[in-house]
Amino acid sequence: MRLQTTFVPLALAALLLAPLGTAFAAAPDEKDRVLRQLDEAAKNFHSTSADFEFDSITTDPIYDKDVQTGSVYYQRDGSAPKMIAHIEKNNGRPAPKVYGFFDGVFKLYEPIPNQVTILTKFSQYQSWFMLGFGASGKELEDKWEIKYLGPETLMDGKQAVKTEKLELVPKDPGIRKNLPKVTIWVDAVRGINLKQSFDQGPGLHRDCFYFNVKYNQSIPKDAFTLKTDKKTQVIKQ
């Protein structure tokens, strides 16, 4: 997925250390344990902010890697959940762009050409943008076939964090055509991801890394405000 003017909405988020350990054979009740732990974590989840690196990788017909970096915010405050990603750089060069799901719609703001694109008929995809951030086990079970792949330890800076690796396959066959599966590395105690890997079909996948994670801390008041002006063009689809 590349968040450009040809944004493909289904593909949606320092490198983390490689997983510690080898093959894992999950006991039948391990998946249920993790999902019920996420149920409890969801009750206490209010917000998360983090820095990110999104790597979009194409292997067919030729190898290509597109790297976006920036910061992301997630919030669940009793109302509809919200997320927003502030992209700062693309392949190391300044390329400001903001996208998110809030106010009941999906919004993409591009300072150049000073344009906001609003997708009003996008509510069915809201859960995809909140994937693994405050989502309960029941919410995941509602939309995904879930396979537990075992525990793995990832690094957030100098801090080692135990995560649970889950493979998710969309139950909706229409969505599954574009997104065959997603793998997440979730800190089930806090209900937050440190890594996501989106399989977008043959020759294309997207890896999302989250670090400098802040859990249930205050989010800047303007985090969900698009810095538009009177000349900003608004396009609704």
Q: Are 206 and 179 in contact (CB under 8 A)?
A: no
Alpha-carbon gap, residue 76 to 74, rounded angstroms? 7
Residue with tokens 């906001």: 116
Contacts with 159 (C-beta within 8 Å, 6 or more apart), sequence order: none
CATH topology of domain 26-236: outer membrane lipoprotein receptor (LolB), chain A (2.50.20)
pLDDT at 28: 63
Alpha-carbon gap, residue 235 to 85, rounded angstroms? 19
Q: Are 234 and 71 in contact (CB under 8 A)?
A: no
Q: Are 156 and 214 in contact (CB under 8 A)?
A: no
Phi, psi of 234 (to 5 degrees): -110, 125
Tokens of 168: 């998710």
pTM: 0.85
pLDDT at 79: 63
Q: Could you read off the pLDDT tens digit of each residue along the chain, which spans 237 residues?
A: 333 333 333 333 322 222 333 344 556 699 999 999 999 999 999 999 999 999 999 998 999 999 999 999 999 876 678 999 999 999 999 999 999 998 888 999 999 999 999 988 766 666 666 788 999 999 999 999 999 999 999 999 889 999 999 999 999 898 888 889 999 999 999 999 999 999 998 999 999 999 999 999 999 989 999 999 999 999 998
Q: Which residues pair with 72 in a beta bridge?
A: 50, 85
pLDDT at 80: 75
pLDDT at 130: 72
Burial class (CB in 10 A: 0-12, 13-18, 19+), 56: buried
Alpha-carbon gap, residue 68 to 96, rounded angstroms? 10
pLDDT at 125: 65
Tokens of 184: 């997440």
In the chain, the amino acid numbered 90 is N
Burial class (CB in 10 A: 0-12, 13-18, 19+), 164: buried
pLDDT at 174: 84
